[in-house]
Amino acid sequence: MILVTGGAGFIGSNFVLGWLAHHDEPVINLDALTYAGNLRNLSSLQGDTRHRFVRGDITDRALVDGLLAEHRPRAIVHFAAESHVDRSIHGPLAFIKTNVDGTYTLLEAARAFWQALPADEKAGFRFHHVSTDEVYGSLRPGDPAFTESHPYEPNSPYSASKAASDHLVRAWHHTYGLPVVTTNCSNNYGPYHFPEKLIPLMIVNALAGKPLPVYGDGQQIRDWLYVTDHCSAIRAVLARGRLGETYNIGGWNEKPNIEIVHTICALLDELRPHAEGSYQRLVTYVADRPGHDRRYAIDARKIERELGWRPAETFETGIRKTVQWYLDHADWVADVQSGGYREWVDRNYAQR
């Protein structure tokens, strides 16, 4: 059995679905169901005894201790995080509480649990910390991509909080011997992505006839990673990664934001043409985000060299699948935007 934190969010839910598609090993799924957590992401698992959902906060030490004692997982896969840069600019405290305090609480609970395990279970235990390339800061146009040894230079409250959590995980390994692995990924996209991030926001706004807001000149460059590729990489690192090591996970897809927006418009023109013409008519340039990093790029050669992992999707195949998913799941989008899913969760769990 494994314990997954944040398993109702975008990447976490894709990981849980992929895990149970590839393994019979059960999952305990701990998620606080903040605005970006959505149990509808996991509706296909209803009635599946391999999946147990627990609503709770990773900062709740008693809850985490109880789950570890009851279920005795062989691994913790830690996704739970506040992750939206814009939200971190407007309200950084929530990011410190979840990303720093929450990771500390998990590490201490995991350490106590691990130290009490029998020798064979102790040797097999893993704490897998999922992080971001944003901890490395911003690259200039000609700079080489981020490697695992790149210095940390976080520039937003979000990336600073994730950098802090990475350092805690590293310290708990070197000081206490906790068997950890860390992965730093590039920008994910794909199904179940909450529509405040670039790709789902552009799709959803375009279909609604709303402006497509592009920060600054739109030339900020990101490396794009299809979410199921990210999940397959995490499975590989959890199974075969070296203890105490960091593995960068990227899609080998560096693209400026404005190119992403134009690609989405072209796909929608093909798949859902509008009577008024191309969706590119909706592109609107807006004031840039404060402290906006100019370029991220991941050098993912280490994970390929050591574990044989490479992404299965190109950006062209992944973005087409993503646009089609949003076209096919208008009810999910409407539910997320209305907040109806949260009202349902509150009703469903009020007496539990």
- Here the tokens at position 277 are 């013409």
* Contact in structure between 139 and 146 (CB atoms under 8 Å): yes
Q: DSSP character for 101? A: I
Task: Determine which one of 158, 192, 226, 296 is catalytic.
Answer: 158
Task: Determine which one of 31, 57, 82, 134 is catalytic.
Answer: 134
Task: Determine which one of 31, 57, 82, 133 is catalytic.
Answer: 133
Burial tier of 60 (Cβ tally within 10 Å: 0-12, 13-18, 19+)? middle
Q: DSSP character for 282? A: G
In angstroms, rounded to a whole number, what is the distance separating the alpha carbons of residues 200 and 205?
Answer: 8
- Here the tokens at position 73 are 């997982």
Quick check: is 158 catalytic? yes
Q: Radius of gyration over alpha carbons of the chain, in Å? A: 20
| Closest among 173, 192, 165 to 43, alpha carbons compared | 192
Residues contacting 165, CB < 8 A, separation 6+: 81, 99, 100, 103, 129, 131
| Closest among 295, 293, 305 to 247, alpha carbons compared | 305
Helix (H, G, I), strand (E, B) or coil at 292: coil
- Here the tokens at position 6 are 């944040």
Amino acid at 145: A
In angstroms, rounded to a whole number, what is the distance separating the alpha carbons of residues 63 and 69?
Answer: 10
- Look at strands 180-185 and 126-132 and give their pairing: parallel
In angstroms, rounded to a whole number, what is the distance separating the alpha carbons of residues 66 and 79?
Answer: 19
Phi-psi label, residue 177: left if phi above 0, alpha if psi -120 to 50, beta otherwise = left
Tell me the angle at which helices 340-349 and 330-338 cross, rounded to the nearest 10 degrees. Answer: 70
Helix (H, G, I), strand (E, B) or coil at 8: coil
Residues designated catalytic: 133-134, 158
